[in-house]
Amino acid sequence: MCFFYFFRNMAIFVITINMLGAFETRAGQPETAAKLGVNVTQQSAESDQSHHQDGHGDDEKHHEHDEGVESILVLSTRLGRSVNDEPIRVEVIVREELEEKAIMRPGNISMLVAETGGVRVQTTSPALGSANIRLQGLYGRYTQLLNDGLPLYGGQASSIGLLQIPPTDLNSVEIIKGSASSLYGGSAMGGVINLISRKPTNESEAEVLMNLTSRDGQDLTTYLAAPLDDSFGASITAGSHHQSVQDLDDDGWIDMAGYERYTARPRLFWQGKNGTNVYATVGFMTENRDGGTREGQTTPDGNSFAQTQDSERFDGGFIANGPLGATLDWNFRGSAMAQNHNKRFGEVLEEDRHESYLLESSVSGYTASTQWVVGVAMQSDRFQSVYFPNFDYRYDVPGVFAQADYELTEQFSTSVSARVDDHSEFGTQFSPRISMLYRPDDLTMRASYGLGYFAPTPFVEEIEAAGLARLSPLSDIQEETAVTSSLDISYQFNQLETGITLFSSIVENVTELETFSSQKWWATQPCSFN
């Protein structure tokens, strides 16, 4: 079959109510805990940064009212406030939980977020095992994946990329649901997942994790960290991951894709005596992944169909910040990523290259009741296909952004942020967001409303399984836009905490696929588009 893209003013509307009750362990209390939860979902249409957090919380994902727990600073909202005081709702997965999940699945981060409410890991290509992360029912392509606030995996991380990131060197994970375009641009229309790395301590550390599975899978990861002197610290994470192909029902089709993957990521930290901090990292990943029919086997129509993907990724990034005076700070950050793919869909070959770049500079300050930041950014996202150049694109997006958090009273505070991007293909884009926090006694209420946009690319969810060969080139496309809102209410009574979350997301100009030909797409020539 062949497909083409179509765009229409289709609105996706989602309402979800989450209810969670938890008994939490406090200092001086017996170490017992129980969780009670109900999740009810109704959908009217298919809806389909810094890096040095040292605070650890309890064993719960959300720590909004537990005074017996050390305060957790959230970094994804740019101003580095306590999670209790942040008007923007931020889910935090702390180090203790990461260690538990890393033992169960040390090869990738998919399990880290799978148990968080409103977050779903969805398989996009069963043959290769790829998956993406959907926040509050929105498509996974709207989710921006960051590492220490940097898009080291690209402006639009591929679904396979999610399975190529080991969790070994992570200290926490921060999740912002709903449009975050006001903070990070068009790639964050559905929200942000920020992976916060571990920082070397005053003592040397060494960890080795080996994992063997009953399905002939092996993982070996290492983490080394040490102070180099009074100012410098360094860490390195490396991993080797192997999975043999598995045909569980002996029908000739591979049910578990096989892969061979190697990763490495060194990090360097420097802290000056005047308060200046510099962080730099580079990363490398290579993987060969195999799926489809087993060697010598065929599908029911008598044809063999091998589906493979070979990947290489190189990336690098830095963050530098320091004081400008008693109440001002400067911040400068940048990143670059290049990723090469060689894919096979039966007899069809695809070879492509993704590139992503970021440069950003900002100034922040504070008074007794206000924190603010203003900055400029330049983002670039590029794609080149060797065999299908009609799908090539280059998006260059300069922008300016600002955010102000204001504490009106001890009980009420608000956060207002906005961003204006000058997109090279879709023109001027304005992305505002307002969030409010109200905390009377044991009741906490958070409300957010935001607008966002997304620049369409050929890589909708179905492309992971189908490839570009049977797609019509994009034409007459418009940016996808979203209006997101949420209301979070939580109440704590002694050790019992309950919470209700209501949210809605309306997306227009949704990019989707439509069949227009039944031509066999595994023919040696791709589908013809006139």
Hey, what long-range contacts does 340-343 have (CB within 8 A, 24 or more apart)? 340/311, 340/312, 340/313, 341/309, 341/310, 341/311, 342/308, 342/309, 342/310, 343/308, 343/309, 343/310, 343/467
How confident is the model at residue 158, as a pLDDT? Answer: 58
Higher per-residue confidence, 259 vs 464: 259
Our measurement of the distance from residue 442's CA atom to the centroid of its chain's CA atoms, rounded to an integer in Å, reads 32
Distance from the first to the final alpha carbon of the chain: 16
How confident is the model at residue 155, as a pLDDT? Answer: 66
How confident is the model at residue 74, as a pLDDT? Answer: 86
pLDDT at residue 16 is higher than 70? no
Closest Cα partner for 460 from 141, 153, 159, 156? 141
The 3-state DSSP class for residue 95 equals helix
Which region among 14-28, 115-129, 164-178, 301-315 has the lowest average model confidence (pLDDT)? 14-28
- Cα–Cα distance measured from residue 393 to residue 389, given in angstroms and rounded to the nearest whole number: 9
The listed CATH number (2.130.10.10, 2.40.40.20, 2.40.170.20, 1.25.40.10) that belongs to domain 2-517: 2.40.170.20
How confident is the model at residue 18, as a pLDDT? Answer: 46
How confident is the model at residue 71, as a pLDDT? Answer: 67
Mean pLDDT along residues 333-349: 94
Our measurement of the distance from residue 268's CA atom to the centroid of its chain's CA atoms, rounded to an integer in Å, reads 23
214 Cβ contact list (under 8 Å, min separation 6):
none
> Contact at 8 Å (CB) between 184 and 156?
no
Handedness of CA 292, 293, 295, 299 (dihedral sign): negative
How confident is the model at residue 157, as a pLDDT? Answer: 58
pLDDT at residue 237 is higher than 90? yes
Our measurement of the distance from residue 354's CA atom to the centroid of its chain's CA atoms, rounded to an integer in Å, reads 17
How confident is the model at residue 300, as a pLDDT? Answer: 86
pLDDT at residue 477 is higher than 70? yes
User: pLDDT band at residue 517, thresholds of 50, 70 and 90?
Assistant: low
User: pLDDT band at residue 21, thresholds of 50, 70 and 90?
Assistant: very low
How confident is the model at residue 2, as a pLDDT? Answer: 54
How confident is the model at residue 518, as a pLDDT? Answer: 52
User: pLDDT band at residue 516, thresholds of 50, 70 and 90?
Assistant: low
> Contact at 8 Å (CB) between 73 and 80?
yes
Mean pLDDT along residues 36-41: 30
How confident is the model at residue 349, as a pLDDT? Answer: 94
514 Cβ contact list (under 8 Å, min separation 6):
3, 4, 5, 6
pLDDT at residue 351 is higher than 80? yes
The predicted-structure confidence for 358-374, as pLDDT tens digits, reads as follows 999 999 999 989 999 99
- Cα–Cα distance measured from residue 256 to residue 243, given in angstroms and rounded to the nearest whole number: 8
pLDDT at residue 57 is higher than 50? no
- What are the residue ranges spanned by the domains of the chain? 2-517
Which region among 242-246, 317-321, 469-473 has the lowest average model confidence (pLDDT)? 469-473
Mean pLDDT along residues 33-45: 31
pLDDT at residue 78 is higher than 50? yes
pLDDT at residue 9 is higher than 80? no
- How many CA atoms within 13 Å lie on the side-chain side of 431? 33
How confident is the model at residue 12, as a pLDDT? Answer: 46
Using alpha carbons only, how large is the chain's radius of gyration in Å? 23
Closest Cα partner for 526 from 386, 418, 366? 386
295 Cβ contact list (under 8 Å, min separation 6):
none
Q: Which residues pair with 334 in a beta bridge?
A: 318, 359
How confident is the model at residue 82, as a pLDDT? Answer: 87
75 φψ region: left (φ > 0), alpha (ψ -120 to 50), beta (else): alpha
The predicted-structure confidence for 286-298, as pLDDT tens digits, reads as follows 999 999 999 889 8
DSSP string, 438-493: E--TTEEEEEEEEEEEE---S--TTHHHH-STTBPPP-S---EEEEEEEEEEEEEE
Which region among 94-103, 184-193, 253-262, 329-338 has the lowest average model confidence (pLDDT)? 94-103
pLDDT at residue 34 is higher than 70? no
Query: What is the pTM assigned to this prediction?
Result: 0.84
Closest Cα partner for 483 from 500, 508, 466? 508
Q: Calculate the average pLDDT of the chain.
A: 83
pLDDT at residue 263 is higher than 80? yes
- Cα–Cα distance measured from residue 275 to residue 319, given in angstroms and rounded to the nearest whole number: 14
Closest Cα partner for 445 from 496, 484, 501? 501
H-run or E-run covering 114: helix 110-114
pLDDT at residue 483 is higher than 80? yes
Q: Which amino acid is at 347?
A: E
User: pLDDT band at residue 156, thresholds of 50, 70 and 90?
Assistant: low
Mean pLDDT along residues 185-206: 93
User: pLDDT band at residue 278, thresholds of 50, 70 and 90?
Assistant: very high
The predicted-structure confidence for 422-455, as pLDDT tens digits, reads as follows 999 999 999 999 999 999 988 999 999 999 999 9
- How many CA atoms within 13 Å lie on the side-chain side of 124? 25
How confident is the model at residue 33, as a pLDDT? Answer: 29
- Cα–Cα distance measured from residue 489 to residue 447, given in angstroms and rounded to the nearest whole number: 9
How confident is the model at residue 527, as a pLDDT? Answer: 43
- Cα–Cα distance measured from residue 142 to residue 192, given in angstroms and rounded to the nearest whole number: 9
Higher per-residue confidence, 302 vs 329: 329
